[in-house]
Chains A and B, each alone.
Chain A
């Protein structure tokens, strides 16, 4: 059946009769805030370099690059997994929500090449190459391969998002009672994206995190890294949903308890997945007790000042979501779910921080005004990139669509 015919058929059932009035809730004010934050970030970045805090500046830059790329890509992967699992229960709003942050992938790609100027500061193998690993850990190869990976992911994600916003995909999402595959372009691109995401984000984890402590190795680290990235996408979506609920007009999708119940289940489930991978990795290293593997954990878990931060991550990412979101009722209360997901966002940021910084500055936490400003700058860029997408979410959320059958 052609796309037009399918759309017409969906129309016949009345699901595509919904009138989409563009809603611009996220507009001027948010843009101004985003621009101010981005400018503050630039100022912090420049001032930090001028004051000779190169390690602090580039450390903060890398942490934020990893975190915000994780969120943007992780969220796109949530949409991809909806398609892979035929998850039409959510209605279009959740697809739009997951795709809202995708434009940041391009900004992230550009910012990644910014690391080139700080490479000698943060990557120890640039000035002191390790002979056995030089074939993999050398500047041209690293920037070429990671640049290509990020480019491919940004490109495929953009194509995917465009397809997912198309008529055919929307008609498919809105007809949950048919047993039918998603439109064929989406059916082709989603498995590719899923597999490449796992490969490429594993490589990024190795290249941009593990190589900061180039003697350390863990075969599970890549998996752990991209699973965390996926979860950071989920919590950011959930937090955005809670914010939009109060911003949009009454009766929007986010006022239905089922939507928060679903998001809450998602936050809960993948928080467990994160801790599972963390533990799977920890116990193997703990049992083996080989110095070349243990030092990375010892620095983070037993060494001050990092020890409390690492433990805080376990609380923010696993224990709090697990204990609080166990009940259906707490999942459906927006303030509780919003708070848990905000703590989750902070926890994921902290986790990326604890992965990166102890390799650069073992005995002191370099967080200060400079890193704060850089973080705000990344946040500003992220917000600016998300505005058009969030307006799409707002439009879908207020259109009064059906969202799955058992409400």
Chain B
């Protein structure tokens, strides 16, 4: 059985989001959208679980705090720093270092996590992309098995798609894109 890509274009953000919602509920295929601007509505319609990038940020933050503690406490002990008769390890000024390192490493890890998990940068346009999806249309690509294609096309038209086309894609390509 060959795999089909049904490509639909929408003039309205709401229609596209609605179509995503319906197809997702019906579990008819694998969906991908293109939008000329970042759309929260379409994003919400996918109802995806939260990104794993947040764990990268968290790890970075914790690493930062621990690094800060290691640097401040470690150097204070190593050099036996006595500042104005205060205890060698006094926490109030260390908070500042730990806080700053938490922000710094949390930010850097978060950024790296974002690149690692989002697939950005994508050097070649994704399958089904058309230049109009970058200017005035919303695109929706549905990958599915051939028998389901006509039902999907009907649903897309009903949701308000301007154009619906069908392309046969080979199996290898799907794996590479996924």
Interface residues, chain A, CB within 8 Å of chain B? 279, 282-283, 286-287, 289, 406
Contact = CB atoms under 8 A, between A and B. Distances in A.
B: interface residue count bin: under 10
Interface string B85-97: 0100000110110
A279 B92 CA distance: 9
A406 B40 contact: yes
- 4 tightest Cβ-Cβ pairs between the two chains A and B: A286-B92, A283-B92, A289-B84, A406-B40
A283 B93 CA distance: 7
Interface in B86-111: 86, 92-93, 95-96
Given A287-B92, A406-B40, 10 more contacts: A279-B95, A282-B92, A283-B92, A283-B93, A283-B96, A286-B92, A287-B84, A287-B93, A289-B84, A289-B86
Contacts of A289: 84, 86
The DSSP consensus for interface residues of chain A is helix
A287 B96 CA distance: 13
Nearest to A282: B92
6 contacts: A279-B95, A282-B92, A287-B84, A287-B92, A289-B84, A406-B40
Interface string B37-70: 0001000000000000000000000000000000
A283 B95 CA distance: 10
B51 to A, nearest CB: 14
Nearest to A406: B40
A406 B17 CA distance: 14
Contacts of B40: 406
A42 to B, nearest CB: 45
Contacts of B86: 289
A128 B93 CA distance: 38
Contacts of B96: 283
Contacts of B92: 282-283, 286-287
The DSSP consensus for interface residues of chain B is helix
A270 to B, nearest CB: 18
B176 to A, nearest CB: 35
Contacts of B95: 279, 283
Nearest to B85: A289
A286 B93 CA distance: 9
Contacts of A279: 95
B22 to A, nearest CB: 20
B92 to A, nearest CB: 5
A167 to B, nearest CB: 32
Contacts of A287: 84, 92-93
Contacts of B84: 287, 289
A283 B92 CA distance: 6
A406 B92 CA distance: 42
Contacts of A283: 92-93, 95-96
A278 B154 CA distance: 62
A286 B90 CA distance: 10
A289 B93 CA distance: 13
A406 B40 CA distance: 9
A218 to B, nearest CB: 15
A286 B84 CA distance: 11
Contacts of A406: 40
A16 B171 CA distance: 57
A400 B84 CA distance: 63
A406 B13 CA distance: 14
Nearest to B95: A279
Contacts of A286: 92
A213 B8 CA distance: 74
A316 B95 CA distance: 20
Nearest to A279: B95
A89 to B, nearest CB: 14
Most chain A CB neighbours (cut-off 10 Å) among B86, B92, B93: B92
B75 to A, nearest CB: 17
Nearest to A280: B96
Contacts of B93: 283, 287
A289 B86 CA distance: 9
Nearest to A283: B92
A287 B91 CA distance: 11
A176 to B, nearest CB: 16
Nearest to B41: A406
A129 B51 CA distance: 64
A337 to B, nearest CB: 21
A283 B99 CA distance: 14
B138 to A, nearest CB: 18
A355 to B, nearest CB: 20
A279 B95 CA distance: 10
Nearest to B96: A283
A287 B93 CA distance: 8
A406 B93 CA distance: 42
A27 to B, nearest CB: 41
A210 B84 CA distance: 27
A289 B84 CA distance: 8
B158 to A, nearest CB: 26
Nearest to B83: A287
